[in-house]
Amino acid sequence: MSQPALIIHGGAGAREGSHTTYASYAQSLRRILASAWQTLSAGDAREAVLTAVRALEDDPIFNAGLGSRLQRDGTARMSAALMDGDNGSFSGVINIERVRHPIDVADALHAERHRVLAGAHASRYARDAGLADFDPVTPHRRAEHEQQLAGEHGTVGAVALDGEGRIWAGTSTGGVGFEIPGRVSDSATVAGTYADGGVGVSCTGIGEHIVDHAGAARIATRVIDGLDLEAAIQRTLDEADARSFEYGLIALDRGGLALAGSTHGVTTLWAARDSHGSRDFVDASA
């Protein structure tokens, strides 16, 4: 038996204009953490990750699902991934259009022989899997696109450990905004989302930096090789800082320790519950 633990994130860094505050991010994250914790208590790590990521995708304050940023051609293309630490199996969807919950497409793909799909074929797969047509574009994101605003951060994710010791990690993103149409983010790669029997990681931040650093897989490998989670995160972030990378992450180990971290200049927006109780980025910075 394991002591269940859950950590979620709502992106890294800059607040997105005057309509959002750190207090409102914290409020949303606390609400979503509480609901996913209920799922974890009654169910398993996969369901808890799906509950959390779906709720984060539904909250337009975050850049994933509803409220995703638009690419340069004015289209929202989203990416999401899910990894089962028990089986070490990864599934993902890249640049999918017009779905409410990209994470559900990653989940459906988990049962397939071919587990990562991209572009129009991913959208068609979602429709065939029974996922309804959904427009994720909000007036705020449309206005942002009209001003040609690019972001650098924004993604959501969750990592959970259930009572049976299973770890799952999930990540979902609307990308950086005003990117070259078709750009591939880190989120649906093992650089952005990784889990194995001992650890799960979800990253947020500048996708190119996360991919160059193989952030999530790098931390997981260090834990597999015997470093404790805190040291694995610290060593990885020190290396990232030395290369002036900008990203943040959440992670959780099989002992039920949930931690968040970020490079210099980045504030990861996170909330967690584990054997140390509930806490979030607001408590941590207070």
- Between 40 and 191, CB nearer to ligand GLY: 191
CB of 273 to ligand GLY, least distance (A): 24
Which span sits near ligand GLY by CB under 6 A: 30-38, 128-136, 184-192, 230-238? 184-192
CB of 12 to ligand GLY, least distance (A): 8
- Between 122 and 176, CB nearer to ligand GLY: 176
186 binds ligand GLY (CB under 6 A): yes
CB of 118 to ligand GLY, least distance (A): 14
- Between 107 and 186, CB nearer to ligand GLY: 186
- Between 39 and 193, CB nearer to ligand GLY: 193
Bridge partners of 205, per DSSP, are 247
39 binds ligand GLY (CB under 6 A): no
Bridge partners of 203, per DSSP, are 249
CB of 268 to ligand GLY, least distance (A): 12
List binders of ligand GLY among 204-263 (CB under 6 A). 204-207
Contacts of 163 (CB under 8 A, 6+ apart): 1, 2, 3, 4
CA distance 235 to 212: 16
List binders of ligand GLY among 141-180 (CB under 6 A). 155, 173, 175-176
| Size of site (CB under 6 A) for ligand GLY | 11
Which span sits near ligand GLY by CB under 6 A: 99-107, 122-130, 141-149, 202-210? 202-210
68 binds ligand GLY (CB under 6 A): no
Concatenating the DSSP letter of every residue in 57-111 gives HH-TTSSSSTTPPPPTTS---EEEEEEETTTTEEEEEEEE-S-S-HHHHHHHHTT
- Between 185 and 236, CB nearer to ligand GLY: 185
**78 closest CA partner among 55, 98, 62:** 98
Residues 70/137, Cβ–Cβ less than 8 Å: yes
**71 closest CA partner among 20, 22, 163, 144:** 144
Cα(first)–Cα(last) distance of the chain, in Å?
A: 34
Bridge partners of 82, per DSSP, are 91, 170
CA distance 241 to 268: 15
**Active-site positions?**
155
CA distance 117 to 240: 29
Q: Which residues bind ligand GLY (CB under 6 A)?
A: 155, 173, 175-176, 185-187, 204-207
